Amino acid sequence: MVLTPLIYSLNSINTRYFNIMPTENRKQVILALLILSMILVVGAAYAYALTESEAEAKFQQLGCVNCHKEGGVAPTFDGVVDEIKDWAKEYPTIDAAVKAEHNEDSFDDLMDEMAANAGVDPSQVTDLKEFFEGVYNEAKASAGGGGGEAGGLPFSPVELGVIIVIIVIVLAIAFYLLRKK
């Protein structure tokens, strides 16, 4: 069984390190570790999101400003942010806005096309995509639209899923360690 080594390791940790202290202290230590783990996971997700000034610097660094400038063929960074905020008022999802406004199938497709136009790999614009999705979701939430696709959070639904899985694993480990023998 795949989980056997994990269970053996957890039992070894439980026996070796936690049995030297009273049961009540053991529960407090495990609870403290559990809370710390959840704070770190959520904090790391928030820390990963770009600030507006970081996003604007990345926008310039990648060469997006070659087209996105005053008098250019596309709006400036501030213009893009304003446009996305307007989409949140008008469209149910960012993908629906992109489909209506830019005739692309999704926001990811639009950003991949923009990356190609700038001559950069699409993986280099991932954090900009997430920043712009966060702008949309925040505007959607403040407009009373329920938070958009990711609930107004500064990370994607996939990242939110990973965070939830990590929290469930930590809870399962804590439950295992706290169980009665």
Q: Which two tokens stand for residue 143?
A: 């407009």
Q: What pLDDT digit, counting tens, does each position of 35-70 carry?
A: 777 677 666 656 567 788 888 999 999 999 898 889
Distances from the Cα of 143 to the Cα of 39, 76, 92, 126, angstroms: 29, 23, 12, 26
Which has the higher per-residue pLDDT, 22 or 94? 94
Q: What pLDDT digit, counting tens, does each position of 94-103 carry?
A: 999 999 999 9
What pLDDT shows up at residue 168? 79
Whether residue 108 contacts residue 94, with contact meaning beta carbons closer than 8 Å, is answered with no
What's the predicted TM-score (pTM) here? 0.59
Whether residue 107 contacts residue 133, with contact meaning beta carbons closer than 8 Å, is answered with yes
Whether residue 66 contacts residue 118, with contact meaning beta carbons closer than 8 Å, is answered with yes
Distances from the Cα of 31 to the Cα of 3, 13, 48, 52, 88, angstroms: 23, 16, 26, 36, 40
Rounded (5°) CA angle 48-158-139: 65
Q: What pLDDT digit, counting tens, does each position of 101-110 carry?
A: 999 999 999 9
Whether residue 116 contacts residue 122, with contact meaning beta carbons closer than 8 Å, is answered with yes
| Whether residue 23 has pLDDT greater than 70 | no
